[in-house]
A and B are shown apart, each in its own frame.
Chain A
Amino acid sequence: MSRAPAARRRPVAYLYLAPALAVYTAFVALPWLHTVWISLYTWDGVTIGTWNGLGNYRRVLTDSAMLAALEHALGFVLFFSLLPIAFGLLLAAVVGGRGGRRYPLTRAVLFLPQIVPLVAVGVMWRWMYGPDGTVNQALRAIGLGSLTRAWLGDFTWAYAAVGVVGTWVMTGLALVLFQSGIQRIDTSLYEAVRLDGAGPFREFAAVTLPGLRAEIRVALTVTVIAALAGFDIVYVTTAGGPGTSTTVPGVLIYRLAFTDGQVGAACALAVVLSTLICLLVLAIGRLLREDT
């Protein structure tokens, strides 16, 4: 509906907005501002807090556990975003301009990890990675029995193991997204580059990739948020362990605020995390803007 240019102002609009804005303000915006406020205090959640200025932020940026959590979150971008998008593009390249038939059943299955609660995903993979789990079973079956281990309890491997769960969850989203995107690319574009004698690589770079720009932006945005703000999967599979090898900000915020009585520090970390996510999302939007 394009609005008439001379549309008059409608005060009644505020009445329509009131319920949504009231709930949003009360349960999202104000708590978030409250987070910023608490982050300036040293507070154990019980007694009266004391002013700490930017002390908590200094701690977030110097404390090794905090930095480790932030690093882990950024590292998860590889597993949650880059790998799934690479898989999605690979498949898009293979299917390419042939339009791709619709596979409703495959699509439904690929989307399943997006549907089930992440807690359930965590429980599932916890067992798969266990000493008697499917992963070790598969390794033994192909003669690599020497590599078997309790994956989630291993200081070296736990992080990658949790990351793979993220890849498992997000790949279906990227696949389905790119698959539906590729069907909207004008097939004549493919014919045109083929007439120019382009091989499959040029075809992919010249037509498929630019044609999927919007889908790539969407996939990147959604998965980066999931990677940085993740809580459920890590909490259920490893709770951040062994040691701090898989801590992410979500888990650390929860632990600091609700078991360690360091609410101020938890809030400072939450503010840093929010800022980081906002900046990354803005950057992605800028980088892959549609009108360029």
Chain B
Amino acid sequence: MAAFALAVLLPFAGLVLAALNPSGTVVSGLAWPEHPTLATFGAAWSGAGFAGLLRNSAVVVLGVVPLSLLCAVLAGYAFATMEFRGRGALFGFLLLGLTLPYEAAVVPLYYDLRAFGLTDSPLAMVLALVGLFMPFGAFWMRRQFLALPAELLEAAALDGADSWTVLWRVLVPCTRPAITTLGLLYFLWGWNQFLLALVLIQDPAERTAPAGLGFFVGAHSINVPMLAAATLIVIAPVVLVYLCFQRHFISGMLAGAVKG
């Protein structure tokens, strides 16, 4: 296990070491930089316009996370606790989305959104991502609600609480850790989304960080320290959040993957 962990760390170590070199240096393999400097980070920051890129990414994520959490909680609640016609069919319709590759929907999505003048805007990204994230979220929240003891609902119903009150006063507080996990996963997937950002956002000023990095690679393919620094800037936010909430991420991704 330790050997595998080392194999995982090695490329990251190479990246950090390379980024410590002055911009433009020829870096050969894994080596301690001759003139260690942090200046390359500054050069990459301004060179790729990371202030704007990170801000765009933040806007997208800030829109996606609360919106998809709300939709997922509401849908999961209905699927878990209510009887209604077409429940099985609607749930199956949602689950289909779990296996659907992004590539299959992204082409018409671009042309349809362009027809509405919605491309090049964070709103397009946000709505598309919320849609993509719905199958997993509804499935996840449904399972969390189903795992709660039935007495909880019955007691609330005896008190005469309506469904809205039961959800927000009883179920949501009881599943807060699971909701946090879902929110973290949404943050991660929203931040990392590349293809959608590449397609839906052509305007460089509206680009997200991963898409910006994708273009940066093309422009600076031989300036290794610069590329390494840019890469580290893009992954820093997710890695930081990951380190703080590591348990949530791992348990969420393991448990969440259970149904494909």
A13 touching B111 by the CB < 8 A rule?
no
Q: Which residues of chain A from 11 to 46 have a CB within 8 Å of any chain B CB?
A: 11-14, 16-17, 19-21, 23-32, 34-35, 37-38, 45
The answer to the question of A292 belonging to the interface, with a C-beta cut-off of 8 Å to chain B, is no
B146 touching A225 by the CB < 8 A rule?
no
Residues of B within 8 A of A29 (CB): 93, 97
How many Å lie between the Cα of A218 and that of B199 in the bound state? 30
**Total inter-chain residue pairs, C-beta < 8 Å:** 294
Q: Which residues of chain B from 67 to 90 have a CB within 8 Å of any chain A CB?
A: 70-72, 74-75, 77-85, 87, 90
The answer to the question of A285 belonging to the interface, with a C-beta cut-off of 8 Å to chain B, is yes
Residues of A within 8 A of B158 (CB): none
Please give the distance in Å from A252's CB to the nearest CB on chain B: 9
Residues of A within 8 A of B221 (CB): 126
The answer to the question of B179 belonging to the interface, with a C-beta cut-off of 8 Å to chain A, is no
Residues of A within 8 A of B9 (CB): 109, 112
Residues of A within 8 A of B224 (CB): 127, 130, 132
Please give the distance in Å from B250's CB to the nearest CB on chain A: 6
A16 touching B82 by the CB < 8 A rule?
yes
Residues of A within 8 A of B81 (CB): 1, 3
Could you mark each residue 197-233 of chain B with 1 if its beta carbon is under 8 Å from any beta carbon of chain A, else 0?
Answer: 0110000000000110110010001001001101100
Please give the distance in Å from A157's CB to the nearest CB on chain B: 18
Residues of B within 8 A of A281 (CB): 99, 260
Could you mark each residue 254-270 of chain A with 1 if its beta carbon is under 8 Å from any beta carbon of chain B, else 0?
Answer: 10011000010011001
* Nearest A residue (CB) for B217: A123
* Nearest A residue (CB) for B102: A229
Could you mark each residue 177-211 of chain A with 1 if its beta carbon is under 8 Å from any beta carbon of chain B, else 0?
Answer: 10110000000000000000000000000000000
The answer to the question of B30 belonging to the interface, with a C-beta cut-off of 8 Å to chain A, is yes
B103 touching A28 by the CB < 8 A rule?
no
B238 touching A1 by the CB < 8 A rule?
no
Please give the distance in Å from B114's CB to the nearest CB on chain A: 10
How many Å lie between the Cα of A38 and that of B104 in the bound state? 11
The answer to the question of A2 belonging to the interface, with a C-beta cut-off of 8 Å to chain B, is yes
How many Å lie between the Cα of A13 and that of B182 in the bound state? 22
How many Å lie between the Cα of A231 and that of B197 in the bound state? 13
Count of chain B residues near A, Cβ 8 A:
101
A257 touching B28 by the CB < 8 A rule?
no
The answer to the question of B172 belonging to the interface, with a C-beta cut-off of 8 Å to chain A, is no
How many Å lie between the Cα of A270 and that of B100 in the bound state? 10
B12 touching A112 by the CB < 8 A rule?
yes
* Nearest A residue (CB) for B17: A134
Please give the distance in Å from B182's CB to the nearest CB on chain A: 13
Residues of A within 8 A of B235 (CB): 116-117, 120
Given that A19-B71, A119-B214, A123-B217 are known contacts, is A273 also in contact with B103, CB under 8 Å in the complex? yes
Main secondary structure of the interface of B (DSSP, over half): helix
Tell which of B5, B80, B199 touches A106, judged by Cβ atoms closer than 8 Å. B5
A124 touching B11 by the CB < 8 A rule?
yes
Residues of A within 8 A of B110 (CB): 257-258
B1 touching A28 by the CB < 8 A rule?
no
The answer to the question of B26 belonging to the interface, with a C-beta cut-off of 8 Å to chain A, is yes
A45 touching B29 by the CB < 8 A rule?
no
How many Å lie between the Cα of A286 and that of B130 in the bound state? 30
Question: Which of the 9-residue segments B33-41, B48-56, B186-194 touches chain A?
Answer: B186-194
* Nearest B residue (CB) for A284: B260
Q: Which residues of chain B from 81 to 124 have a CB within 8 Å of any chain A CB?
A: 81-85, 87, 90, 93-94, 96-97, 99-112
Tell which of B4, B14, B109, B246 touches A31, judged by Cβ atoms closer than 8 Å. B109
B260 touching A115 by the CB < 8 A rule?
no
Please give the distance in Å from A281's CB to the nearest CB on chain B: 5
A32 touching B214 by the CB < 8 A rule?
no
Can you name 11 A-B residue pairings with CB atoms under 8 Å?
A13-B83, A20-B137, A25-B131, A31-B109, A32-B108, A110-B8, A126-B221, A134-B29, A176-B250, A235-B214, A277-B101
Binding site for A on B (CB under 8 A): 1-2, 4-5, 7-12, 14-15, 18, 26-30, 70-72, 74-75, 77-85, 87, 90, 93-94, 96-97, 99-112, 127-128, 130-132, 134-135, 137-138, 145-146, 148-150, 152-153, 163, 188, 191-192, 194-195, 198-199, 210-211, 213-214, 217, 221, 224, 227-228, 230-231, 234-235, 238-239, 242-243, 246, 249-250, 253-254, 257-258, 260
Q: Which 3 A-B pairs have the closest CB atoms?
A: A137-B29, A27-B131, A221-B260
